[in-house]
Amino acid sequence: MLFQNLLLLLPAALLTSAAPADSHSLADAGAPPPLDSSPPGVVSLTAEEASADSAVSASPCSDWQQLYGRGRWTYVEVQWCFRQRGDQTVVTQEQQNPWYFWGGAWYTGKSHTLTWQTTGTVGSSWYFDSGNNFNDGPVRRDIHTFKSKIPPGLYPVSVHYHQLGPWWGADAAIDADLTFAISLGY
């Protein structure tokens, strides 16, 4: 009987001892990010498919991408928008809902540092690189400006997104290769 009682107490003891009391609290734990049925952050479109899809639903922004880190210890949602401003095209990246898994529960990463880099191409002619960046919690930020405006049209976009954090480092990094279509107006 004593053994059964100890087994019942073991999960609670593990949860309370798994995380330092000063940085994690089960009161701050949230529901895990949504489960997906496909590998996180991977959309495989050829240029022709992206162009065909964009004829129906293209906008200057990607859909929100749900990205998991290695081992599914980290999670974030990211969106990229391409805006025409005067004689330039500006790439904006927005992050939301950063989470990390610790001690059997998901925790919000909104107050943790996210270190990231985004590289990509628009069509076959325009390359962008955000350089290495970091921010505390999710942000919306202009990450690149094409000095010459990209002409109006439908374009396939390829993006590589690399992120460390929240909480975890390179062992749980998010490395996502994505392809989507955008439509740029005048």
The pLDDT profile of the chain, 186 residues, written as one tens digit per residue, is 554 554 444 444 444 444 333 355 444 555 555 554 333 333 344 445 444 444 445 799 999 999 999 999 999 999 999 999 999 999 999 999 999 999 989 999 999 999 999 999 999 999 999 999 999 989 999 999 999 999 999 999 999 999 999 999 999 999 999 999 999 986
The residue type found at 133 is N
Q: Where are the domains of the chain?
A: 39-184
Nearest one of 186, 184, 56, 185 to 122, comparing CA atoms: 184
- Rounded-to-integer distance, Cα 62 and Cα 76, Å: 15
User: Which residues partner with 134 through β-bridges?
Assistant: 115
Q: Model-level pTM? A: 0.72
DSSP class of 103: T
- With contact defined as beta carbons under 8 Å apart, do 116 and 131 qualify? no
The architecture in CATH of the region 39-184 reads Sandwich (2.60)
Rounded-to-integer distance, Cα 170 and Cα 97, Å: 19
Residues 32-85: tens digit of each pLDDT: 555 543 333 333 444 454 444 444 457 999 999 999 999 999 999 999 999 999
What DSSP string runs through 19-48?
S-TTT--GGGEEPPPPP-SS-TT-----HH
